[in-house]
Structure 1
Amino acid sequence: MKKKTFYKRKIKHTGAISLGVDKLITEAERSLIPREFKHYLPLLEPLELLLLKKALKTINSSKTPFMHFSQKVLSLAKAELGKNPNLEFLAANIAYELRQLDDLEKIAKASKNYFTLIPLIKGLVAKNSLNRAIANIRIVEARLSTDDLIYQIDFYLAKSLYSVAKGNLTDGLFQLLSAKEFLSSYENEIGVLYANTLRTQILLQECEILLSMSRYTKAYDIINSGLSLAKKIDHKVLIALFELYYGNYLIEFMNEPEVGNQHHRKAAAIARSLMNPYLIAKTLMTIGSNLHLQKNIEEGIKFCKHAEKMFQKMGDFQEQAITINKIAGLEIAYGQISAATNRLLNLESKRINNPQTVLNLTLAFLKADDLDSAELYLEKARTALRGRGDLAGEFYLIYFEGFIEFCSGNFSKAEFLFANAQEFAELSKLEQLSLKASLQLVSVLVLKNIAKPSKRNFKKAKIAILDLQGHIKKDEHSQDYNELEFFKASLLFSNREYLQAEKIFKRLEKYYSNLQLFEKINAVQDYLHRIENYRQLGFLNSKSSQLASFDEFERTPAPLLVSSKKVNRNEIIELGTHPILLLILSSSGLPLYSHYFTDVFGKIDETLVSGFLGAIISFTEKMSEGTKTSYLKQGFLQGIKHGDFDILLEPAENCIVALVTDKESYLIRKQLKRFTEELNVLFLKEEEPIIVLGEENRFYVDSLVKRIF
């Protein structure tokens, strides 16, 4: 039995036979219709075609045809709502393409054609109105049949968007697979033009999902096929979107920003020519989020903020959430941690299902040294990523756990976790992330040598640096190269090879200043300041305390520690803090115990220090009178900066612990807190600390100092 054609199947729903587009629309009039909408023409009835024909006479071909035609069709549909069902279907799709979501809702609500609910579902997903979206999905499912060929495929596309918004990426891909199979079965009946348009839309959504799952290799094949097909049918909107994704692939996976930016510029040119607001916003967001690679983070933030406002005005909260995460990522890189955190917390309160939000919050709290909050959001990220199949997300769960251990001073566990993250990324073929973990692994090894200097730790860190050095191109403008140079200089500094370290740090200071990366500038300048202090003290060129010369290992072949890929890393750590003197004082400021860690800075008179601290403490306690508790116990007096030294304070039971150090850092503060907590255990057993710190208990405190510091 001969199959029915698509156009005859359409009779079931329209009640009339089309007289044919060619008989009603002339070639000159067809030229005024943008290529992106010509495939809709066979759906229109004769009266609807005549309405469109009348409207085409008022279109000025010298103006932007895409936007001019779009607005004309929307005006036609809204002028007589409920009277032209197929024209309303076209108008609803146009409203969704332009993200004029309010117009979309008006048209769908008034239309007698339930097919307009399909673009409405897409619009509701964009608005994050997921409950309304599923309600309309159920309505369409109850009425749609396999006879409704074109609408059935479009419905699969809508359901895929809904599944992705709910966090079920696997089901999103399954819906697209169903759309492909359906299209293959009925391609001849639908017609080549419409079939190719639908196939390209399927490929676009598949590409978006694969990129969000970091399946770059598969995404690359989809991008190539989709871009080729989009060019074949001359669908400029789809061409521009594929160009954006191709650029992202080249930048994020292939680490080729210059080539990637060329594709982004092509997309920008199309967006300008079409004047499509959604496409313009998407392009601004994509280009802006990559401007940090061109040493222009501030401009990138401006681009993304403009895009975010455009998406907000459209009501596309899904794209707005993606853009906010891009802005926050740039702000974190720019050192604007507080602004990024507030932005992300506000986004989280809107309950948009985007795991990147909680992952970025984890990073922001790590940067702010708020490990408790970082751990909390890492657990939220585990929940958000469960079942998504997001490889990059799974990588960051391991990576951030390692970072938390790293910041807590648990270097061995951090080393283990970063090695696991590197291996996971390697197996998942996430080359950039593999190198990110590899460089962080280097930073742990460097810091282990600083915390516990030894030939073994120094050599291990040295070998790791040399290995990565052999795989990263020597380019003084490369972020990867300069990140590794920072760790090399830090290791040199820890080995007291100050002149070699100074040379690298001075170059890095210029590099980071050009990028306006203030966190990194501060870290480098702190090293340079301390090197200058050592020069004035007269021991800058002394090598008597070096563990081994850095050059000794240059002649030794380095074993392969990590994979030979490029690196992408933004994090900077605090290195090289040296404790000098620990004091335990009574509540009145009398010295009860002292311990010198080094005399390289010269002996410090502990009586003078305790007297100075006693005066400060007495003053703050006097200021606390009339309040519920003391300033010191509340943590308002945490330290004192005095010349080239920092004095850190921690209140204990009936006494105060003071640590004199050349520089405060998160790690040294963490060690001081831990020492105080363990000291409190002993104090709880005695009434007076003066008794506890007698000669019979001094051995206990000495061993505690040795164990923790």
Structure 2
Amino acid sequence: MDPIKNWPNELMIHYWRLDDNFRNVILSFIHKNSDPKADKLKNFIDNISVIYKLQGIIVNNSEFLFMAANTFVLQGSFEEVYEICAKDEYHPGLLNTKAYALISQRKFDDVEGVIAKAEEFSKADPFNALYINAIKLLYFYYSQQFDKIETNLESLATHYKQLCDQYSDDENLVLAFTEMFTLGKSVFINIKRREGKLEEGMAIGQELILLVRKSNNRYLLNRLLNNTALCAIESGDMKSGLVYLEESFLFSEILANKLQLAVLANNIGFIYRNMGNLEMAMKYFYIALENAKKADLDSQYIVVATETNIAHLHLDFGNSQLALSNSDLALDSLKKSNVTVPPQIKIALDLCRADIFESLDQFNEAEMTLDSALTDIKQGQLRNEIPKVYLRKARLAARQSNLGEAKKLLELSLELALENKLFEIIVNTKLQLAEIDLLNYRMTNENQLLINALEKIDDTRRLCEEQDYKLVLIDVFILQGLLLSMTNKMKESKKILNNAIDLSKQLNLLEKEQEARIQLTEIEKEKSNLLVRIFTRINKSIRSTIAFESVSRPKTIKADIKALFIMSKQTGLPFYQNEFNKETKLNPNLLSGLLSAIRTMGQQILDAEEGGLQLIDHGNVSIMLETGEKCFFALVVDKETYLLREKFREFISYFQTERFFKDGDHVVVQTSEKRDEEITNLVEKHLLKVE
């Protein structure tokens, strides 16, 4: 028996630190009492726990205690860790392990004293001297002392390099040093994630993962995989994120408790669902359900969440009755819970059941369920959940041909979503508003309604591109392509549908690619059923996005507003103009050219059919253009953003309700300090605070 091959990589440092005799005793005991089919780390941990409880000289050996403490850390059994560490309060490894356990439990009051003591007793122990430097970084991060992290990372890196140079002949010790360096630097993945620098966080994670693969310490690797996965997923790279999470899940099955496995499997299933891979989503949701039901603690809230997810998937598959049965199970689990279920989980169940009732044409049941959800939302003060209810109520109203009520609810939803930057809600609201335009178009055949629908779909496209909502973007491309073909813009239509095909290929979504190809072929045929196909597609998009919650972190894109110009349509005379950024003066030639163009050709370039010109890009300056009832509006910014465009339109709506606009003379525009002050106040309220 080769002793080193039977020793788990996660505890390899202890192999080299233990006395040969102790090491042989441990290996002999484990060999006799192990399950040959089990992972060697699991066998090792189980047997070390048994050895620790035995009486004898080995359990008084400090190096054995150091190893035993680390095995309990791997299991998350922190009370045992503290018990072991109390047996030798001067061993640097035990002090470090105690500090690590305290940080893991967020018991920060006791950490600094332990760290100071560990630093003192680690001076003659190179491994533990580096270990305590890594632990300090964990402490500073989790206790939110972010200002201390960069300096301490530099210190850790310098110390690591010195030790690697000093002990370059000892490959095993260098690997152990690398693990400690990686542990400390791992906080920088989270730091970059906090700062929104997700690509940098991913790069750091990938660098550290490569380092740890050399020693194959799966416990440390698991930490890196999870943190890097979050950066990947929040940046929109769900494919890479899933690869990391699934590798992490395999290791978690060895050590994690059932509740942890249920949570992790649910997360993976949720991501698969967002990617449109319903089969894999279902697989992981059932893994989550199985583990949640076996958990030692009261896990009914996880059971409720998982059964709700499964119900949603059955609805996605088009099996409403099976979805209803699963939602009934979730409702029953909710009633059985002995602990308070988070309100978000109950609300999610209500929203799911409302979707199911709507699909079964049980509109009264859907309405009552949504009212129940709204009550829970208000009691829990969960304002961001309100638009989700309005979306569904609008859907019910539209299904019952009450388009006016549907539009009113959608406008309320959009207002709340814009206010709170709920971009996924904005996407769905715009799709439903476009559907209402198309329903009205079917009844009236007014071409402007078709143009309005196209504008809303184009708004949605821009938002999806800006926020990197690639999955939804494919649906939007297909819709936009169909609508463009309906307005006889075949060249643009084909280009957009080819974009859908290319993006589907990029994301390896074969069904989406096939659908886009079919639509590309169909648009060249007879158009008699085109509107029906559009309604089918838009309904499919709404269904897939009504429960859509982006796993990507919303991107905050700041825009610097430089100036606003408002001009009379009739005369081209300035109604209001103001430069807000006094530090960076605008190019006077650019502005005079812009104003001249708007004055002379404003009606043609801005007020044209199908929206006219909306944006002028000029180097580091963009000019956003909008047309009102009696005025042209030009907002000068460093860059256009979706949110700013929406707020610009909102500002114009408010502007046109003010008395100075309604009662003002738009032919002979006279200067007015009071009017300028009122407009500036409106600008500050509706535009300057936008991010």
TM-score (norm 2): 0.49
* Higher relative contact order, chain-length normalized (CA < 8 Å, sep 6+): 1
